[in-house]
């Protein structure tokens, strides 16, 4: 009897933990009633973003720290970029919460996720897959980094570092730098390079992780840092090279 009671107690605790997990909004039902988790690794949902087999629409929620609202031009450019590569009938971007400064710069990926949990409203549901951008003030732990992707649908931009490297004399415009970083980080969500979307030809710069070895490509490793911003003068946002496009097309994109 005593053993039975403790087993029953254990079952109750396990059930409570399960309910606790479900209530944090990290997992939601999407596509054909399947459970969709928004805490998978970067690149794990590449095919869901690229193809239209499960999700026909994409919505992107953008939350930003007060003073770091991204330019409308950069958001428009991101939308055009995704429309040209993803098999989705609609791509929409929702500029959502303006949030007070967390005051925690330099930020870690864990801190970005903690803020996301508090402010993110849009998750994958039905036929619509959702992605999330958080625009932080301040900088990342590695101070020249302009943005990072941290889960299968989650990305952050370092608004402070971007502001310090754009809009001034001899610097590219804020819109150009934001466009470049938004598109580069989304490239990681799309599984580039060799991280969720297989490479058709060998062009992964393995020494620098999931990046492309073509130095003019959007997915070149230095694109994510302030070391690269002088290359963006005149509004030259780097484009995906032919090999990156071929990879996306082979994994359901266009
Ligand atoms: Zn990168
Ligand atoms: Zn490339």
Cβ count near 63 (within 10 Å) = 23
Long-range contacts from 5-10, C-beta under 8 angstroms, 24+ separation:
none
157 CA distance to ligand 2 centroid (A)?
21
197 CA distance to ligand 1 centroid (A)?
14
Average pLDDT of the chain is: 89
pTM score of the predicted model: 0.87
15 CA distance to ligand 1 centroid (A)?
39
242 CA distance to ligand 2 centroid (A)?
7
The one-character DSSP state at 246 is: H
Q: Which ligand is nearest to the CA of 200?
A: 2
Please give the pLDDT value at position 28: 52
CA pair distance 33, 25, nearest whole angstrom? 16
Which domains, and CATH codes, for the chain? 31-250 (3.40.390.10)
Q: Which ligand is nearest to the CA of 201?
A: 2
Neighbouring residues of the ion ligand 1, judged by CB less than 5 Å? 224
Q: Which ligand is nearest to the CA of 184?
A: 1
Please give the pLDDT value at position 25: 43
Tens digit of pLDDT for each residue in 113-166?
999 999 999 999 999 999 999 999 999 999 999 999 999 999 999 999 999 999
| Contacts with 51 (C-beta within 8 Å, 6 or more apart), sequence order | 87, 251, 252, 253
Considering only 23-37, 40-54, 79-93, 166-180, which range has the smallest mean pLDDT? Answer: 23-37
- Residue whose pair of structure tokens reads 């967390």 in the numeric block: 102
Asked whether the beta carbons of 153 and 113 are under 8 A apart, the reply is no
| pLDDT average, residue stretch 242-247 | 98
- CA-based radius of gyration for the chain: 20
CA pair distance 172, 71, nearest whole angstrom? 14
Per-residue pLDDT for 18 more than 70? no
Please give the pLDDT value at position 154: 98
Asked whether the beta carbons of 199 and 205 are under 8 A apart, the reply is no
CA pair distance 144, 134, nearest whole angstrom? 18
105 CA distance to ligand 1 centroid (A)?
21
Per-residue pLDDT for 9 more than 80? no
Please give the pLDDT value at position 35: 83
13 CA distance to ligand 1 centroid (A)?
41
- Tokens linked to 160: 């402070």
């Amino acid at each position: 009897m005593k053993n039975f009671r403790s087993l029953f107690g254990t079952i109750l605790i396990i059930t409570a933990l399960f309910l606790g997990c479900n209530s944090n909004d990290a997992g939601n039902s999407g596509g054909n009633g399947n459970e969709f988790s928004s805490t998978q690794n970067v690149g794990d949902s590449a095919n869901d973003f690229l193809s239209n087999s499960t999700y026909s629409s994409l919505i992107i929620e953008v939350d930003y720290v007060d003073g770091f609202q991204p330019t409308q031009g950069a958001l428009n450019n991101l939308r055009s970029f995704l429309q040209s590569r993803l098999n989705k009938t609609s791509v929409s971007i929702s500029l959502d919460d303006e949030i007070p400064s967390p005051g925690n710069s330099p930020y870690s990926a864990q801190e970005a996720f903690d803020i996301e949990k508090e402010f993110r409203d849009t998750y994958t549901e039905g036929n619509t897959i959702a992605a999330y951008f958080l625009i932080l003030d301040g900088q990342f732990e590695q101070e020249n980094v302009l943005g990072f992707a941290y889960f299968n649908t989650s990305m952050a931009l370092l608004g402070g570092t971007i502001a310090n490297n754009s809009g001034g004399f001899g610097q590219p415009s804020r819109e150009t730098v934001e466009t470049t970083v938004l598109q580069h980080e989304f490239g990681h969500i799309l599984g580039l390079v060799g991280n969720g979307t297989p490479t058709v030809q060998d062009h992964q710069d393995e020494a620098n992780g999931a990046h492309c070895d073509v130095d003019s490509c959007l997915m070149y490793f230095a694109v994510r840092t302030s070391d690269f911003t002088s290359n963006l003068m005149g509004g030259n946002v780097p484009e995906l090279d032919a090999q990156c496009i071929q990879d996306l097309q082979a994994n359901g994109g266009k």
